[in-house]
Chain A
Amino acid sequence: MFVLSGYEYLLGFIFVASLVPVLALTASWLLRPAPSGPERRTTYESGMEPIGGAWIQFNIRYYMFALVFVIFDVETVFLYPWAVAFNRLGLLAFVEALIFIGILVVGLAYAWRKGALEWS
């Protein structure tokens, strides 16, 4: 039994929205000129001959931010039911959420202290 209402529009809209890139790319595919010349297909490196490929190891700094992000993303997901149902929950829920957020702020402070949020 499907009880949710309005989601048939989501399905339909996914189709309609996919039509935008599909139609755009098809129109361009039909109308554009044929690709010309192998030089155009070289990798752009500010006019230099490309040195090596791009699929090499980059700095790990980005990874730290993604790690911290996952934790806080899960936290916000847990806070949504709290926020939506807050008027039915009352003062006790506020204190409990305060503890929940407080524990995670400790995590944020730890990440801060340990330099996980530093770029350099």
Chain B
Amino acid sequence: MNSGIDLQGTFINSLQDLGLPPGISKLFWMPLPMILMVIGATVGLLVLVWLERKISAAAQQRVGPEYAGPQGSLQAAVDGLKLIFKEDIIPAKADSALFTIGPILVILPVFISYLVVPFGQNLIISDVGLGIFLWIALSSVQPIGLLMSGYASNNKYALLGGLRAAAQSISYEIPLALAVLAVVMMSNSMSTIDIVQQQSGYGILGWNVWRQPVGFVIFWIAALAECERLPFDLPEAEEELVAGYQTEYSGMKFALFYIASYVNLLLSAIMVAVLYLGGWESPIPLDRLAGWLGQPETNPILQVITASMGILMTLFKTYLLVFLAILMRWTLPRVRIDQLLDLGWKFLLPVALVNLLVTAALKISLPFAFGG
């Protein structure tokens, strides 16, 4: 199963044919997937914001954004442009250095985590051995940024919001990590590529969601809580805390929080797709289909089709999950802080531990179905 296009190898080889040493050719290649991924994440964010506004409008029987671009699809970009031109207000009593570093610390881990997002066998920036653990480790840095901005604002709402956000984030990190651990155990590897490949071969039947239904639900709830999505958007519960840690922010610094939260939602949806919904795999295994049609795996057209299908499938699953998250936003009422912490510590944590142990027991008793 080593088929698929190797863009990196081809690119580096062609540069080497021009007489460049291997190290330099690689240096030319390296920025390309990174910049592509950052641009991709930004475009994904704009689509996501537009979708959220349109679907929210539909849920409330409104029209939603309409004038900027066809069906208001440029509304998010226009809003972003507007925020660039906004005055930057740093409250007189705030700590201006921490006030600026806070949002940067919130947004950086989210973007760096895209390093391990796979769109295909070779369509990943870098398949590092840490894989999914890198994402978990990086996402644990976010509470520091939230605490920093909450503290630096020197505003009671902001500080309380920051403390709440950090408490919420740490409460759901452990169920999240334990749910991931069960998947990691099944694929015997932390690499995101290996996790998807472990689910391949049987189409939709091989996906982890059938073998890890409990883990899937735990992961989805914990991911929503980590993203501070409704029903878990307590840190910015406007009736209680104005806008939480964002209260004093305006202009581009506010935009950084906004971008971070939506890019994080996108990332979480991608991770759900990768961990439980087979990543880039199609519901019907494409290579078998090609085999029935009598096409060899080395057929270049087939490889291009497989790679594009992989990207499309990943995006389709991701946006399906995003759609689910938006529907949940308008369906479920916001939980209270004590309910939130009870759910995390007294329900999800024990259930996640049991799920992990059950997975281990099943792996011993039924090794063929649970990754050997």
Contact = CB atoms under 8 A, between A and B. Distances in A.
Contacts of B38: 16-17, 19-20
A24 B129 contact: no
5 interchain residue pairs of minimum CB distance: A9-B126, A28-B252, A119-B338, A17-B111, A83-B185
B92 A117 contact: no
A12 B89 contact: no
Interface stretch (B199-207, B302-310, B325-333, B358-366): B358-366
Given A16-B34, A73-B174, A28 B350 contact: no
Contact of A35 (B89, B93, B126, B341): B89
B321 interface: no
B62 interface: no
B167 A44 contact: no
Given A35-B89, A90-B364, A54 B345 contact: no
B340 to A, nearest CB: 9
Nearest to B248: A44
Interface string B135-149: 000001000000000
Contact of A42 (B91, B140, B166, B353): B91
Interface residues of A, number: 68
B184 A83 contact: yes
A12 B34 contact: yes
Given A38-B92, A76-B177, A76-B181, A54 B338 contact: no
Contact of A72 (B31, B100, B133, B174): B174
Contact of A108 (B89, B104, B125, B349): B349
B89 to A, nearest CB: 5
Interface of A: 4-10, 12-14, 16-21, 24-25, 27-29, 31-36, 38, 40-46, 50, 53-55, 58, 62, 65-66, 68-69, 72-73, 76, 79-80, 83-87, 90-91, 94, 97-98, 101, 105, 108, 112, 117-120
Interface residues of B, number: 89
Given A24-B259, A28-B85, A86-B188, 16 more contacts: A5-B128, A10-B134, A13-B115, A14-B112, A16-B35, A17-B114, A19-B38, A20-B259, A21-B107, A21-B108, A50-B93, A54-B155, A62-B163, A68-B345, A86-B185, A119-B342
Interface string B188-210: 11100000000000000000000
Interface in B1-44: 30-31, 33-35, 37-38
Contacts of A84: 184-185, 188-190
B364 A32 contact: no
Given A14-B112, A80-B133, A29 B178 contact: no
16 contacts: A8-B126, A10-B134, A13-B34, A16-B35, A17-B108, A28-B86, A28-B252, A32-B252, A43-B154, A54-B155, A62-B167, A79-B181, A86-B185, A86-B360, A87-B363, A87-B367
Contacts of B253: 25
Contacts of A66: 167, 170
B128 A6 contact: yes
B153 A94 contact: no
Nearest to B154: A54
A105 B185 contact: no
A28 B84 contact: yes
Nearest to B367: A87
A5 B166 CA distance: 33
